[in-house]
Structure 1
Amino acid sequence: MSSRAPLDHFWAVIPAGGAGTRLWPVSRSSAPKFLLDLTGSGRTLLQATVDRLAPMAGPRCLVVTGRAHREAVLAQLPELGPDDVVAEPSARDSMAAIGLAAAMLERRDPEAVLGSFAADHVIPESEQFASAVQAAYRAAQQGWLVTIGIEPTHPATGFGYIRAGDPVPGLSEVRCVEEFVEKPTTEVAAGYVEAGYRWNAGMFVVRPGVLLDLLAETDPEFAASLRAVAAAPDTLEEVWPHLPKIAIDHAVAEPAAAAGRVAVVAGRFGWDDVGDFASLADLLAGSGLKVLGEPTLVRSIDASGLVIPAGGRTVAVIGLEDVVVVDTGDALLVTTLDRAQEVKKIVAALSEDGHDELI
């Protein structure tokens, strides 16, 4: 446990959304991945996120989640009060979720600095993470919109990248952001890694008023609507469906970076967004055939990969390499680690066929 004192007026904002379709049938719309223990630690991804931020934020935490998951979030986080878990009437992407939290904090704590971190990421090195957050906090106090850029471990094509420029005067650990770039091809990604670009993990630290004022420069009605809902919460149902469905990166970060108003702190810690079963297998300790769940339910001979025996039945695997077997009782998935990204296609097909009870 960290011995760090909480940062003054620092608030943890945790957007908790998404169904994690690449992790079906473990992750479902009714029980998305952030509500699950996917590392075998005994804590769900959401609980681990709150644990990680508690040394900096103390009790100051806002979770923004879907209405269907609000009660589950409150049950997993009994330390939070009802006003600390905000229920979205519908999914409107990250700008609406984080923007509403910013508008609420702008009124609740005029000196607030918010740090927005997704509920479903895995970060094992808490101390290194805390150091990066502290550096971002110091820059945010000076009016910057700050992101934490992850040091790439390989030329990934599934993430956007951040190109850093000159250091921010007086803040040696912080650099100006020259550009956010979209998900590249493998060849382009290799060039980015060699040139020192960083992965964009969607981590932002900023004063609430700064974030909303930046949004107002490109979409004044959007910013005004968020502030209006914060002032009159009973208008949420009326206003929410009319808000733009856009990510914070496109709505604020990219135009603000072009104007020289975004900074980046290097995140020198392990990070994973647990995007599919191959990523999940890499997170689990051991070699050969890895098991998430009750190991006595799995029998294997000359096999490797990942098995999740969540259906309570014995699963036997013989002579298969890099296999993925997920048994939840009402659904059985068999694929390979190489094809794990394609699981979302099965979810889409089930949805088209009207099998909503399975997704």
Structure 2
Amino acid sequence: MALRFVEKPSAEVAEEYCASGDFRWNAGMFLCRPGVLLDLLAAGQPHFAAALRGIAADPARMAEVWPTLPRISVDHAVAEPAADAGRVAVVPAAFGWEDIGDFASLRTLLGTDEPGLTVLGDPALVHGLDSTGLVVPRADRVVAVVGLEDVVVIDTGDALLVTTTARAQDVKTIVARLEHAGERHLT
């Protein structure tokens, strides 16, 4: 049984946890029935859980309801309060795990360390010349990349993202700006 769940502790606290040997790292994998997860969410955020159940009952309402939902991680909304209530168990396991936290990690997970462009989608739509990085094209448009190193190109249909793997973590910032400006966004 987990005594508590702490999402993103400060560096100092994380060092204390590691030094003590009494803590386990959360790989972000939760195993439970969806109804249990929603019940746990409802304990602390009843309106949020009700809205999600409404979307499940009528998926056509997704575009209407989703933008009104709180922006909170499952760790903060569910895992922390559930652990405080004695509802989280930790199961040690030995298996490979990759944190796909950015586009560089995604490129590595896709299995290429070779120079050139890695394409997630139809490779016939992507043409590169002296370029490296990751490209995710739309199904109806060609993407050409010339002379760029470690580029990330994501074409979602409503927006086109072009950045570098070094700046890929800034995607959250630009998405927030676009949403604030009322523009379409990169989701």
| TM-score band, normalised by shorter chain | 0.5 to 0.7
Measured in 1, the distance between the counterparts of 2:169 and 2:137 equals 20
- Determine the structure 1 residue equivalent to 2:119: 291
Letter in 1 for 2:170: E
Q: Is residue 170 of structure 2 the alignment partner of residue 336 of structure 1?
A: no
Contact 1:308 1:325 in 2 (8 A): yes
Superposed counterparts of 1:166-245, under 5 Å: 176-186=1-11, 188-189=13-14, 192=17, 195=21, 197-199=24-26, 201=28, 203-205=30-32
Measured in 2, the distance between the counterparts of 1:256 and 1:330 equals 42
Q: Is residue 132 of structure 2 the alignment partner of residue 304 of structure 1?
A: yes
Distance 1:321 1:356, change over 3 A: closer
Letter in 2 for 1:184: P
Distance 1:358 1:205, change over 3 A: closer
Distance 1:267 1:178, change over 3 A: same
Distance 1:186 1:285, change over 3 A: farther
Q: Secondary structure at the match of 1:316?
A: strand
- Determine the structure 2 residue equivalent to 1:346: 174
Q: Secondary structure at the match of 1:201?
A: coil
Distance 1:329 1:200, change over 3 A: closer
Letter in 2 for 1:304: T
- Provide, for residues 62-105 of structure 1, a one-character-per-residue CA deviation record: whole Å limited to 9, x for no partner: xxxxxxxxxxxxxxxxxxxxxxxxxxxxxxxxxxxxxxxxxxxx
Q: Is residue 100 of structure 2 the alignment partner of residue 268 of structure 1?
A: no
Give the drift of 1:343. 0.8
Measured in 2, the distance between the counterparts of 1:354 and 1:215 equals 29
Letter in 2 for 1:181: V
Contact 2:2 2:83 in 1 (8 A): no
Q: Secondary structure at the match of 2:172?
A: helix
Measured in 2, the distance between the counterparts of 1:321 and 1:184 equals 34
Give the drift of 1:338. 2.2
Give the drift of 1:284. 0.8
Measured in 2, the distance between the counterparts of 1:197 and 1:356 equals 39
Contact 1:299 1:315 in 2 (8 A): yes
Q: What percentage of residue pairs aligned between the two structures are identical?
A: 46
Superposed counterparts of 1:78-93, under 5 Å: none
After superposition, the CA RMSD in angstroms is 4.1
Structure 1 residue ranges without an equivalent (≥5): 1-175, 234-243
Contact 2:159 2:185 in 1 (8 A): no
Measured in 2, the distance between the counterparts of 1:215 and 1:321 equals 43
Give the drift of 1:273. 6.1
Distance 1:281 1:185, change over 3 A: farther
Contact 1:298 1:309 in 2 (8 A): no
Contact 1:277 1:340 in 2 (8 A): yes
Measured in 1, the distance between the counterparts of 2:18 and 2:127 equals 39
Measured in 2, the distance between the counterparts of 1:339 and 1:278 equals 10
Measured in 1, the distance between the counterparts of 2:162 and 2:2 equals 43
- Determine the structure 1 residue equivalent to 2:104: 278
Distance 1:179 1:255, change over 3 A: closer
Measured in 1, the distance between the counterparts of 2:112 and 2:98 equals 18
Give the drift of 1:329. 5.8
User: 74, 79, 84: which one pairs with 1:255?
Assistant: 84
Q: Secondary structure at the match of 1:280?
A: helix
Contact 1:309 1:315 in 2 (8 A): no
| TM-score, normalising length: structure 1 | 0.35
Measured in 2, the distance between the counterparts of 1:355 and 1:346 equals 11
Report which of the two has the higher share of strand: 1
Measured in 1, the distance between the counterparts of 2:150 and 2:9 equals 26
Give the drift of 1:308. 2.0
Give the drift of 1:357. 7.3
Contact 2:7 2:80 in 1 (8 A): no
| TM-score, normalising length: structure 2 | 0.61
Give the drift of 1:254. 2.7
Contact 1:309 1:328 in 2 (8 A): yes
Distance 1:315 1:249, change over 3 A: same
Q: Secondary structure at the match of 1:183?
A: coil
